[in-house]
Amino acid sequence: MDRDTSIAIIGGGIGGLTTAIALCQKGFRPTVYEAAPELRPVGAGITLAINAMRVFQKLGLAGRALEQGHPLEELRITDQQLRPVSRTALGPLIREFGVPNLGIHRGALQQLLLEALPDDGIQTGKRLDRLEGGEDEVRLYFEDETVVSADVVIAADGIHSAARQQLFPAARQRPSGQVCWRGMCPADITPWQRRGTEAWAPGQRFGIVPISEGNIYWFAVVNEKRGCDWAGLSKAGLLDAFRPFARPVAELIEQTPEGRIIYSPISDLEPLKKWHSKRVVLLGDAAHATTPNMGQGACQAIEDALALAGCLSSLPREDAFHAYQNQRKKRADRIVRQSRRLGRVAQLDSPLLGRLRNGLLGFLPSSLALRGLRELAAGSA
Report the pLDDT averaged over residues 137-147.
Answer: 96
pLDDT tens for 193-226 read 999 999 999 999 999 999 999 999 999 999 998 7
pLDDT at 190: 94
* AA letter at 66: L
- Give the residue among 20, 18, 17 at the shortest CA–CA distance from 7: 20
* Domains annotated on the chain, with CATH: 7-173+268-378 (3.50.50.60), 176-267 (3.30.9.30)
CA distance 257 to 53: 31
- Cα dihedral 56, 62, 67, 69 sign: positive
pLDDT band at 134 (very low <50, low <70, confident <90, very high): low
List of residues 6+ apart from 126 with CB closer than 8 A? 33, 34, 35, 142, 144, 146
Average pLDDT, the chain: 95
Tens-place pLDDT, residues 242-270? 999 999 999 999 999 999 999 999 999 99
Ranges assigned E (strand) in the chain: 7-10, 31-33, 45-48, 70-72, 74-78, 84-89, 101-105, 122-123, 128-133, 138-142, 147-150, 152-155, 173-186, 195-201, 204-212, 215-223, 262-269, 276-277, 280-282
Per-residue pLDDT, 341: 96
pLDDT digits (tens, 9 = 90+) for 145-197: 999 999 999 999 999 999 999 999 999 999 999 999 999 999 999 999 999 99
From start to end of 236-326, where are the E strands? Answer: 262-269, 276-277, 280-282
Are 258 and 235 in contact by the 8 Å Cβ rule? The answer is yes
The pTM of this model reads 0.96
